[in-house]
Structure 1
Amino acid sequence: MDPAVAVNASAPLESLDEWESDVLERYPEEGHQFRDYTADVRPTVREFYRLNHINQTHEFVKAKKAKYSSLEMGKKSVWEAMEFLNTLVDDSDPDTDATQIEHLMQTSEAIRADGHPRWFILTGLMHDLGKVLCLYGEPQWAVVGDTFATGCRYSDKVVFSEFFADNPDAKVAKYQTENGVYEPGCGLENVHLSYGHDEYLYHVVKDYLPEEALYMIRYHSFYPWHREGAYDHLASDKDRENLKWVLEFNKYDLYSKVDERPNVEKLRPFYEELIAEFFPDKIRW
């Protein structure tokens, strides 16, 4: 099946306005305010972003990419990675206390219920597996949370952007212009986003999943771009074309957190078969 075709599914979203309309239609009576980073946010969330914004420098990002993109952390099956991840509690997330496997299945089951293709369902199941970096010894501020561009001026659309004042890059003049070290329209693949699970998992799965899925995985935490329109001057036409897939995925990643917790063992046979359709028994991490 062409990756762009979904059986009995709505077309991918073309704009932020469509995104808002779609989620309001999907949850008209929910009343839950997701991504609420106001004064009532948990102290651990605020402290997470303070550490993240202070420590994620341009050089730090390049060093982590060099360390992990070569995939030298051993081989595991996808399901083994899911079980490995399940001990993690994400300090950046203000919206849920579900286990990691439960959140992955909440996402994938919501995608499945809407009739999307099997590669899309699998993307939902796997999208946060890059968080295993925390279990390799990386601090959470280097793995989870919203991502942002480094090497250019910080956007005030990033949550808790006030903390950037204490990042050493704030004092580097070449990093604090609109384009910074980049050329306009250079493409997001050439922009060093703050390091995290999105970038790591992209390298793990890039040889196995279609381009639409790779955009969902690599940029689903890049809220300043896909939710707020920041940094678009660095995006390419290909990035803008695939933005609709990131938006389509995001409604399931975020709004599935209100759904009933899944029965993991009951669903496991379906997902093991789905994983085997796209991946060998063991893959490099």
Structure 2
Amino acid sequence: MAPGVLVDETIDRDGLQLEETSDSIDNVNVLNGQLKKQQDWDSTSKFDAEKDKTQFRQYEDACDRVRNFYKEQHTKQTVAYNLKVRNNLKFQKREEMTIWEAMEKLNTLIDESDPDTSLSQIQHLLQSAEAIRKDGKPRWMQLTGLIHDLGKLLFFYGSEGQWDVVGDTFPVGCAFDERIIYPGSFSDNPDIKDPIYNTKYGIYSPGCGLDNIMLSWGHDEYLYNIVKDQSTLPAEALAMIRYHSFYPWHREGAYREFMNEHDEKMLEAVRAFNPYDLYSKSDGLPEIEQLKPYYLELIDEYFPQKVIRW
């Protein structure tokens, strides 16, 4: 069982507000151009062919909630903070539960904040997974769609707000690229005054590989650290989880100087996954109890330990 401070926090944290911010952020994250049709997991998505993607807001039209969120995130995501939270994850006592229990926990927390919310977290996860399934993608990719946002549990496990849970991610420890959303909002981040952190390569080296880059802390990075140690999901799935909010990289082409050959293949994977995250939300809600047996079997296939340390 998690420490009392973690359990108690779930009573007071506003899960609905987190989802409203997360959804507002999602609405400005629009894919740029068509995906190249290849094969199997990386073939072009079909489920969204008739969706009007122009309805997703562009950055310049984003609401104040999004702008204020990114100002706080860009100010507080520092090297020091990222080192601290990663160290805490290694040594703190962790709650244990299955993947489905984690989905229900996150879903329940949001519902308690506002039972009238139109789309719960578990519905979004199932919509993503079902879109991937209907397009005939591999079972491991279906499971990735099902779990990709479970890292939002972090909001109830000692996060300092929304800014270290959701939103676009970016490297810390090197100069903040101009292709990050609202690049001017880094002005109060102390790392921009550091003589090493504010250089192009910072603490890294060209071609070092994104596995060696410290990305800003949030639900992507949190879940990635859990899944890579406790599942048998392939490298492509891990990349989809870790980088699905890394829009400066997979959409804008930033930080290519750090990529190695492995990262090129992972970039294809993230771009193949992205439509199922952005465009799977719809008015047609999944039948949770009907789908549950299928996905429980899928979970057991790739999480042999059953009970996961969160």
Normalised TM-score (structure 1) = 0.85
Number of the residue aligned with 1:63: 84
Number of the residue aligned with 1:151: 173
Cα distance 1:156–1:25, how it changes in 2: closer, same or farther (>3 A)? farther
Q: Gaps (5+ residues) in structure 2?
A: 1-30, 38-43, 112-116
Instruction: Please tell me the residue identity of whatever aligns with 2:306.
Output: D
Number of the residue aligned with 2:114: none
Number of the residue aligned with 1:219: 243
Asked if residue 133 in structure 1 is aligned to residue 133 in structure 2, the reply is no
* Greater than 6 Å deviation, 4+ residue runs: none
> For the residues of structure 2 that align with 1:229 and 1:160, how far apart are their CA atoms?
16
Superposed, 1:219-238 pairs within 5 Å as: 219-238=243-262
Q: State the structure with bigger RCO (CA 8 A, min sep 6), 1 or 2.
A: 1
Number of the residue aligned with 1:269: 293
> For the residues of structure 1 that align with 2:91 and 2:271, how far apart are their CA atoms?
29
> For the residues of structure 2 that align with 1:104 and 1:25, how far apart are their CA atoms?
16
State the shift of 1:20 in Å: 8.2
State the shift of 1:24 in Å: 9.4
Cα distance 1:74–1:253, how it changes in 2: closer, same or farther (>3 A)? same
Query: What is the CA RMSD across the aligned residues, in angstroms?
Result: 2.4
Maintained 8 Å contact 2:94/2:309: yes
Asked if residue 167 in structure 1 is aligned to residue 189 in structure 2, the reply is yes
Cα distance 1:84–1:25, how it changes in 2: closer, same or farther (>3 A)? closer
Number of the residue aligned with 2:308: 283
Number of the residue aligned with 1:19: 35
Maintained 8 Å contact 1:71/1:204: no
Number of the residue aligned with 2:127: 106
Maintained 8 Å contact 2:78/2:189: yes
After superposition, give the CA deviation of every residue in 1:104-123 in whole Å (9 maximum; x if it has no partner). 11110000001111111000
- Match of 1:26, SS state, is coil
> For the residues of structure 1 that align with 2:92 and 2:137, how far apart are their CA atoms?
30
Instruction: Please tell me the residue identity of whatever aligns with 1:198.
Output: D
Q: Gaps (5+ residues) in structure 1?
A: 1-14, 90-95
After superposition, give the CA deviation of every residue in 1:218-267 in whole Å (9 maximum; x if it has no partner). 11111100111101101111111221111111111111124622122221
Asked if residue 84 in structure 1 is aligned to residue 109 in structure 2, the reply is no
After superposition, give the CA deviation of every residue in 1:104-155 in whole Å (9 maximum; x if it has no partner). 1111000000111111100000001111010113111011111011111111
> For the residues of structure 2 that align with 1:236 and 1:70, how far apart are their CA atoms?
31
State the shift of 1:29 in Å: 5.0
Normalised TM-score (structure 2) = 0.79
Cα distance 1:73–1:25, how it changes in 2: closer, same or farther (>3 A)? closer
After superposition, give the CA deviation of every residue in 1:153-176 in whole Å (9 maximum; x if it has no partner). 111211122110111111112111
Q: Percent identity?
A: 49
